[in-house]
Structure 1
Amino acid sequence: MNILTRGMRHALYAVGLAVGLAAGAACADVSEGPAPDFTLKSNTGENLRLSEFRGEVVMINFWASWCGPCRQEMPLLDELYTQYQPLGFTILGVNVEEDSSKAKKLLEEIPVNFPVLFDNDSEVSKLYDVVAMPSTVLVDRDGNVRYLHQGYKPGYEEAYQQQVRALVRE
């Protein structure tokens, strides 16, 4: 049972984003540990499971259509995906909204080539303790969480690129 209304969740995400940005929480190395597995329906209608991507470097990007920094970041993530996908890298864009119709509309305006998944019940967001929009988790080829980014400001994509480059070389 979900006791938080959509408005309450939006407010919590906004507060989390503000706190993360005010604290300068761009990126944190996190203690290595297994990334929680999940299965979500994708924008193509198929179910995708994180564990199916074992052996690849995976960026999990939690986002929402109402999030300005998310919109700004999407085309940059798509460029990163295009550049590193041939080297065993993928992005799973996880939309956190109850109603995925707004996300689908945004994807018409800002199309991306990587899979977009819908976390309508916020189950996966809870697994990953998402408190800021966007939140980005980098998972290595062995399925371990290696980096966590909360929020987005122009320039963060340079850190993403350095980290992805290092992880695909491992």
Structure 2
Amino acid sequence: MKRTLAFVLLLITFAASATSAEKVDSPQQSLEQALSAQKGNVVYIDFWASWCGPCVKSFPWMNKIQQQYQEQGFTVISINLDADEMNAKQFLQDNPASFAVIYDNKGTIAKHFSIQGMPTSMLISRDGVIKYRHSGFFTDKINKYEDEIKQLLNSSSTTLSKNITNETHNKTHNKTKRGNHESE
């Protein structure tokens, strides 16, 4: 529950940081729109740059998982951090993407999420919570990455909602039993 609240607050703060002077299709707005369009789906967000060696290896895998799990409510959104968009476009000619690409040449989104290395990925559950975060891409961990995706795809929003409702009920009930004194 705390992680969900933290993620929602993070997005609100992120949205509020976009000023009206920014153009309509700022990277932040592009990400917000992309995430909004994928509400209820599992989303794999990948931060990358053209100079990143492991990114070359991750793109074929991301294309594969996008194709493989799309029908089950999964999508990949990538965020490019090249200062010069032409470098990213050249990279994409050599390494085509079958998923959304957002250009963040000033690194605003990356700073917001404290991205430290390339690539960095975040796996978001159907209820909008960041469940997994990975720095780097390692081919010997592909099975682990896919297991995490499958786990989140097999979690239904209904189950998660029921768990949150039950947690809230239990906390309220326990709080009442303790005379409204909470302890950790």
TM-score by length of 1: 0.73
Query: Which residue of structure 2 aligns with residue 101 of structure 1?
Result: 86
CA offsets, 1:24-74, max 9 Å, x none? Answer: xxxxxxx564264468668xxx94522332111000000000000011111
Distance 1:73 1:136 in 2: 10
Aligned-residue RMSD, C-alpha: 2.1
Q: Contact conserved, 1:51 with 1:143, CA < 8 A, in 2?
A: no
Deviation at 1:133, TM superposition (A): 0.6
Q: Contact conserved, 1:41 with 1:117, CA < 8 A, in 2?
A: no
Query: Which residue of structure 1 aligns with residue 149 of structure 2?
Result: 164
CA offsets, 1:64-122, max 9 Å, x none? Answer: 00000011111011101110011000000110111111111111111121111111111
Q: How does 1:9-158 map to 2 (within 5 A)?
A: 33-34=6-7, 36-37=10-11, 47-48=30-31, 49=33, 50-158=35-143
Distance 2:126 2:138 in 1: 27
Identity %: 34
CA offsets, 1:144-170, max 9 Å, x none? Answer: 110000012212221111011010111
Distance 1:41 1:116 in 2: 13
Query: Which residue of structure 1 aligns with residue 173 of structure 2?
Result: none
Gaps of 5+ in 1: 1-30
SS in 1 for 2:139: coil
Q: Contact conserved, 1:96 with 1:122, CA < 8 A, in 2?
A: yes
SS in 1 for 2:78: strand
Of structures 1 and 2, the one scoring higher in RCO (CA 8 A, sep 6+) is 1
SS in 1 for 2:105: coil
Gaps of 5+ in 2: 16-24, 156-184
Query: Which residue of structure 1 aligns with residue 175 of structure 2?
Result: none
| Greater helix proportion | 2
Distance 1:58 1:126 in 2: 20
Instruction: Identify if the C-alpha distance between structure 1 residues 95 and 76 changes in structure 2 by more than 3 Å, giving closer, same or farther.
Output: same
TM-score by length of 2: 0.68
Instruction: Identify if the C-alpha distance between structure 1 residues 41 and 85 changes in structure 2 by more than 3 Å, giving closer, same or farther.
Output: farther
Query: Which residue of structure 1 aligns with residue 174 of structure 2?
Result: none
